Amino acid sequence: MLGRRIESSSYCKGKQLKLLITGGAGFIGSSMIRQCLARMPYHILNIDKLTYASSSKSLKEFESNLNYQFSCTDINDQRSLRTLFTNFKPTVVVHFAAETHVDRSITRASDFVQSNIVGTFSLLETASAYFSDLSAEEKQHFRFLHISTDEVYGDLGSDGYFLETSPLAPNSPYSATKASSDLLVNAWYRTYGLPIIITHCSNNYGPYQFPEKLIPLMILNALENKALPVYGKGLNIRDWIYVEDHTNALLRILERGRIGQTYNIGANSEHSNLEIVYNICDLIDSLVPHPEQISRRSLVKFVQDRPGHDFRYAIDNTKVRTEFDWQPNESFSSGLAKTIKWYMENADGWCRHILDQSQSKTIFKNREMKDSDVYSNEHSHEQTQ
């Protein structure tokens, strides 16, 4: 894809950037908002549907900030999106909102199709219509930054890296919906001239991640001396990045990225799942020894592997490093130590709250689903009569 570089010195010079962020109540989106509000002259509108993976507690700290607004909206709701775009007048859209847990995509893919594909379509339609009404100067500054994942490239053998030119070859329902959204975003660039940029990042870890993902789940279970379930033999490899290093790269891409380009973000930090779990066990043992003085490694329990489990992901980050003079600040050990410390300090606060909240949201959702099933069954019955 061809790209146009906008120099940072000319990019919205002297103006406050207005960022419309979707999914800002989630793990990475909230980190992005934290960084923007702390460092830059940004005004933010956060649009989030507040699914089980998000917590109002993650947003509490922003509420008194005059540069921050929130709307509890589903990105599938185009009517509300149109009003939000018209009133807020964003300079930039940063699109994080998605269903993100691979295991959930295997048991309930429909939520992923709806939010990740149809939701992205709805956002693109709204952004395109808004973009076409902008003045020539406003058009120059507008960006649609689409946050995607390295999982869209499928899996690697024991060597090789994902490049920006690697073909899309997703294997899970989650990665298939993310790859579909990438294709839609690219089509809106080529067909309608929407100034998009796509990023593919590797596995993130850090504070505020919902404790169903590997690292927070293992930390909380290890702290409570519970079993540590590891898929298969724990040999699957991921390339891990501390969340703030990811959002830091996104800010640079936002300011200096070339329109129409794809950027892969990763920290050259490959670890197998088992290696990570053992690291967590050892660190927690050193901080809070097990009451029976045993190593928490003994809590590891190998469980049946995830169907279609990708073996290895690894990112070649040359483009983002050279184009933006970016590099990760955290090593895996420093980032993991920070993350463990945060979960220890927030186990009874944020973690308890999001887990309790997610349980009631799931019960509510199951009830909603049963109601709508009854409706659609009756409806189709009527139609066939």
Which residues would be at the binding site for ligand NAD (CB under 6 A)? 22-23, 25-29, 48-51, 53-54, 74-76, 96-100, 115, 119, 147, 149, 178, 201, 203-204, 210
Residue with smallest beta-carbon separation from ligand NAD:
26
Q: Please, what is the minimum distance in Å from the beta carbon of residue 97 to ligand NAD?
A: 4
> Which tokens is 144 given?
């649609």
Give me the phi and psi of 370, to 5 degrees please.
-60, -45
Decide whether 152 or 299 has the Cβ nearer to ligand NAD. Answer: 152
> Which tokens is 152 given?
């869209």
Q: Please, what is the minimum distance in Å from the beta carbon of residue 61 to ligand NAD?
A: 15
Contact 315, 161 (CB under 8 A): yes
Decide whether 80 or 225 has the Cβ nearer to ligand NAD. Answer: 80
Contact 323, 188 (CB under 8 A): no
Catalytic residue check, 103: no
Q: Please, what is the minimum distance in Å from the beta carbon of residue 381 to ligand NAD?
A: 30
Decide whether 31 or 91 has the Cβ nearer to ligand NAD. Answer: 31
> Which tokens is 311 given?
């073996």
Q: Please, what is the minimum distance in Å from the beta carbon of residue 160 to ligand NAD?
A: 19
* Amino acid in position 85: F
Contact 196, 351 (CB under 8 A): no
Distance from the first to the final alpha carbon of the chain: 53
What is the distance between the alpha carbons of residues 21 and 68, in angstroms, rounded to a whole number? 11
Catalytic residue among 153, 161, 174, 278: 174
Contact 238, 213 (CB under 8 A): no
Q: Pick from 256, 269, 262: which is nearest to 327 by CA? A: 269
Catalytic residue among 48, 74, 99, 150: 150
Catalytic residue among 74, 151, 164, 182: 151
- Radius of gyration of the chain from its Cα atoms, rounded to whole angstroms: 21
What is the distance between the alpha carbons of residues 112 and 276, in angstroms, rounded to a whole number? 27
Q: Pick from 189, 107, 208: which is nearest to 146 by CA? A: 189
Q: Please, what is the minimum distance in Å from the beta carbon of residue 242 to ligand NAD?
A: 11
Catalytic residue check, 174: yes
Decide whether 111 or 275 has the Cβ nearer to ligand NAD. Answer: 111
Residue 381: partners with Cβ closer than 8 Å, 6 or more residues away: none
Q: Please, what is the minimum distance in Å from the beta carbon of residue 7 to ligand NAD?
A: 27
Q: Please, what is the minimum distance in Å from the beta carbon of residue 304 to ligand NAD?
A: 23
What is the distance between the alpha carbons of residues 91 and 40, in angstroms, rounded to a whole number? 14
Strands of the sheet containing 42-48, edge to edge, are 68-72, 42-48, 17-22, 92-95, 143-149, 196-201, 262-265
Alpha carbon of 223 to those of 85, 279, 312, 338, 342: distances in Å?
Answer: 44, 13, 28, 15, 12
Decide whether 26 or 207 has the Cβ nearer to ligand NAD. Answer: 26
Annotated catalytic residues are 150-151, 174
